Structure 1
Amino acid sequence: MSYRELATRPVLTWCAVTGAARLPVAMAPLALVFLVRERPGGYTLGAVLAGVYVVGEIVAAPVLGLRMRAERARPQLVAGLAVGAAAFAGLGLASGAHPVVLGGLAFLAGAGPVAVSAGLRALLTGMVPERSVTQALSLESMLTFGLWAAAPALTTGLALGAGPAVPLLLAGGLMALGMTGLWLLPEGWTAEDREGGPSARRALLAAWPVYVLGAAALSLLALAELILPALLEQRGIGIGWAGPLLAGFSLGSVAGSFLYGLRSAWPGPLAAQSLLLVLGVTTGVVLVALLPGAPAIGVALAAAGLLQAPAMLARNLALRQVLPPSALAAGYSVMYAAVGAGYAASGTLAGALLEAVAPSTAILCGAGLTLLLVAVAALGERRLVPHGEDGKDGQEVQETRGPVRKVRR
């Protein structure tokens, strides 16, 4: 199936709703920094608020994901966006409030809508035939990386040009808009378990190697984003290059998403694909630490981004392979928490190492942590069995299943 065949009204509506729901998430950390930067100790407080926001996401993702009901997901998705809209609007309207109040609102802004992304992904894959799932997830990946590439410039422009509270007020409005748009999408997705499969909770636990690999992939993104400015200073390169270089990473990821979706199936098991791609991204990040000039670093980052998106896509497809439909939203939410933890752990490690070693060395140490996680995931992957398919390879399963039954609106 080609991308052209995804240009249907339901899928385009899903894109609009997803954009409204996810752009606030991409804007949130930087918007929180701008919100309080003019207060005493503003940058420190902003970093703390952004950290509290991420903690809210990590803590709530598995809890809310496990409570998601496949056949009637809409009420939970609406409730999540409603909490997010209220929390973001509260932050914008109460920018001068006590830091504890702002921290509570930041936590709710992260926690409330955290399962929405997982639910929307499950909705999308339930709206298209099974043979089209790879293209649908590639489309989602392109949309996500595009939003994440645009969010910093949009947030900065609004905060400096219109006011520090405006990005958060916009985020609240977008989530409210996405909440109303959910009524144009199906109420849920099929929850028919395949015959002979394990229970949803047992399958979620058994899929731990996929989560570990997801954490490994995002730990690399943390290294690229958080250590790059210090690395540029070490190399004697203007720090202003950090933005364009990271934009190159995002553009590479958009291209990688598009290229991966050109085929419904790629050679080899999904687990092996994901492992090899993460190793490729690791190589690119290591080259960033070793290469001297900005052009060389830019090429290495773009190549890493080109492989990062397919690694994430293969990981999500592998998760669909080992989980029953009723557990997909929960699995995506647990994955969200795992990759957030991987990002935070790698960023914390690298930040601590910067106190004692050069930025290039900190990146190499972080890459070592990634390789350790990859090794753990590879050992665990050997015991994973595709759910309900008698051990068939996931790519073969993708090609042989028929269309998924749609859930009535």
Structure 2
Amino acid sequence: MSEAVAARGIERYRALLRVPYARELFLWALLARLPMGMVPLALVLLVRDSGAGYGQAGAIVGAYLVAAAVGSPIAGRLVDRRGHARILRPRALLFPSLLLLIGALAVLDAPTVAIGASAIAAGVLFPPVGASLRSLWPRLLEEPELRAAAYALEASLQEVFFVVGPLLVAVVAGIASPSATFVVAAAASAVGTLGFVSSAPVRDARPEEEQGRRSLLGALESPGVRTVVLISACCGFAFGGVEVAVPAFAEAHGGVERAGIPLALFAAGSLVGGLVAGARISGSSRTLLRASALLLALGLAPPLLAGSLPLLSLLLFTAGLPIAPLFTAAYGLVDRAARRESAAEAFAWISTAISGGLAAGAAVGGALIDAQGVRASFALGCSAAALAALLALVGPGLEGTRPPDPERV
């Protein structure tokens, strides 16, 4: 048994980062995707600064997110069929250019509809760095333990740009202007994506040879992939319910501006849980998925009883612990379930499902808050997580994706 497979704890991550190119792939991919955490808030500040209302700002942000969700699996399929570099390299220029255009339109007092159209185009052309990276790990990492650690680190690091991105927008907008935030986001995307493409594993990757006929369903032809995508959509729905409930709860307990604290701790819990899972947990991805989904459903129940913001913050940190482990398992299952020639598309569908579920959960949760109060939205999140746990238990296609148990010392 290799030293890498035998590693536990922090040594497992050290073994992962000693693999050639792993460290640079993680760093470039993190920088390239920083706009994911920046653009939504930056659009709100930009549109509001132009004199438009929150309704228009919300519509533009929603259009951008929907465009990104629709474009993600399309981009993933193109990566599978044409190669990583051929798709990422032009988007490394097009996406940042569109971000700069949005900032310039605001400076020139262009109509809001022009900003919205540019935002939609930017969403569609977002570089599929995340899906590309996940589809490369099976080529670079032979040991299941190291692939699990890579997926765990990937799931955990996603929380970083959702925490750092909005903070960076707030700082840049405060020091300079909302338009300047798009310059920073464009620079991060261009430098990160081009750096990612320049790495040898990405630059030299070639499309997998097609096996059999090409299905219109693409990656969704696999029952296991479909089940994981449905679970991801349910989780996104749960997150949407929680994320709209927290500001409403904070408004009733001291001020809506304090909502960032429990939401940040929700993300921090996921970060901690993912790092621990990647360092310590061995065994099948299916077992980890079922356990994590169940713990998420159970963890989202106590916030229903929270009576103060500090207590809610603590409960959401606890509830967040199984999130990154859940998606670590989801990535591992897709790794096994998806055909190699549709791997990038399969991973992209997970992101699309989360985004779509998040938008729907926030919309339904907001309506429930207006009609029945904030606890109804928390209950919605808990119910969606319970459905995800049920799908993880009985959903089709997961049985055949169980990886062989790794050797143990």
TM range (shorter): 0.7 to 0.9
| Alignment-mate amino acid for residue 17 of structure 2 | A
**Residues 195 and 385 (structure 1 numbering): CA distance in 2 closer, same or farther, change over 3 Å?**
farther
Shift of 1:198: 11
Q: What is the Cα deviation at residue 88 of structure 1?
A: 0.8
Match of 1:343 in 2: 358
- Which position in structure 2 is the counterpart of 1:407? none
Which residues of 2 match residues 178-197 of structure 1 at below 5 A?
178-181=192-195, 182-186=197-201, 187=203, 189=205
Residues 134 and 259 of structure 1: is their aligned pair in 2 closer, same or farther, counting only changes over 3 Å?
Answer: same
Between 78-87 and 362-371, report the one with greater CA deviation. 362-371
| Paired position in structure 1 for 2:7 | none
CA deviations on 1:53-109 (whole Å, 9 max, x unpaired) are 101112112222222236831111122232211111111111122222111111122
Counterpart amino acid of 2:48? R
Q: CA deviation at 1:281?
A: 1.5
Query: How has the CA–CA distance of structure 1 residues 108 and 197 changed in structure 2, closer, same or farther, with 3 Å as cutoff?
Result: closer
Change in Cα spacing, 1:190 to 1:138, as seen in structure 2 (3 Å) is farther
Q: CA deviation at 1:282?
A: 2.3
Matched residues in 2 for 1:203 and 1:64: separation?
13
| Counterpart Cα distance in 2 of 1:112 and 1:192 | 23
Q: Mark the CA change 1:172 to 1:135 in structure 2 (over 3 Å): closer, same or farther.
A: same
Within the candidate set 233, 240, 248, 1:230 is matched to 248
Report what 1:30 is aligned to.
Answer: 41
1:68 is paired with a residue of what secondary structure? helix
Q: Count how many residue pairs are aligned between Structure 1 and Structure 2.
A: 389
Distance 1:231 1:290 in 2: 12
Question: Counterpart of 1:261 in 2: which secondary structure?
Answer: helix
**How many angstroms apart in 2 are the aligned matches of 1:335 and 1:92?**
30
- Name the aligned partner's letter for residue 261 of structure 1: G
Which segment drifts farther, 325-334 or 179-188?
A: 179-188
User: Are residues 283 and 264 of structure 1, via their aligned partners in 2, closer, same or farther at CA, if it must alter by over 3 Å?
Assistant: closer
2:16 match: 6
Other structure's SS at 1:262 match? helix
DSSP-derived class of the 2:21 partner: helix
Moved more, 167-176 or 4-13: 4-13
Partner of 2:78: 67
2:188 to 169, 174, 178: 174
Distance of 2:327 and 2:213 partners within structure 1: 25
Is 1:153 aligned with 2:164? no
CA displacement at 1:220 relative to structure 2:
2.2
> Is residue 2:274 matched to residue 1:260?
no
Cα 1:197–1:286 change in 2 (3 A) is farther
Report if the CA contact (8 A) 1:216-1:373 is conserved: yes
In the superposition, relative to structure 1, how do residues 173 and 386 fare at CA in structure 2: closer, same or farther (>3 Å)? same
Q: Would you say 1:116 and 2:115 are equivalent positions?
A: no
Provide the C-alpha distance between the structure 2 equivalents of 1:339 and 1:224, rounded to a whole number of angstroms: 14
Distance 1:169 1:104 in 2: 18
3-state SS of paired residue (1:67): helix
Report the CA distance shift for 1:209/1:114 in structure 2 as closer, same or farther (over 3 A): farther
Instruction: Kindly indicate whether the alpha-carbon contact (under 8 Å) linking 1:122 and 1:189 is maintained by their aligned counterparts in 2.
Output: no
Task: Tell me how far apart the structure 1 counterparts of residues 339 and 269 of structure 2 sit (CA, whole Å).
Answer: 32
Relative to its length, the structure with more helix (as a share) is 2
Query: Which contiguous aligned blocks of 4+ residues in structure 1 show a shift greater than 6 angstroms?
Result: 193-200
Work out the percentage of aligned pairs sharing the same amino acid: 25
Q: Does residue 260 of structure 2 align to residue 250 of structure 1? A: no
In 2, distance between residues paired with 1:202 and 1:166? 39
Shift of 1:347: 0.9
TM-score calculated relative to the size of structure 2: 0.87
User: Does structure 1 conserve the Cα–Cα contact (< 8 Å) formed by 2:238 and 2:380?
Assistant: no
CA RMSD, Structure 1 to Structure 2 (Å):
2.6
Pairing partner for 1:299 from 314, 328, 335: 314
Do the aligned residues in 1 keep the contact of 2:77 with 2:345 (CA within 8 Å)? yes
Letter aligned with residue 330 of structure 2: R
Shift of 1:128: 2.7
Counterpart in 2 of 1:362?
377
Counterpart of 1:89 (choices 100, 115, 131) is: 100
1:220–1:281 Cα contact (<8 Å) kept: no
Structure 2 vs 1, CA of residues 192 and 44 (structure 1 numbering), >3 Å: closer, same or farther?
closer
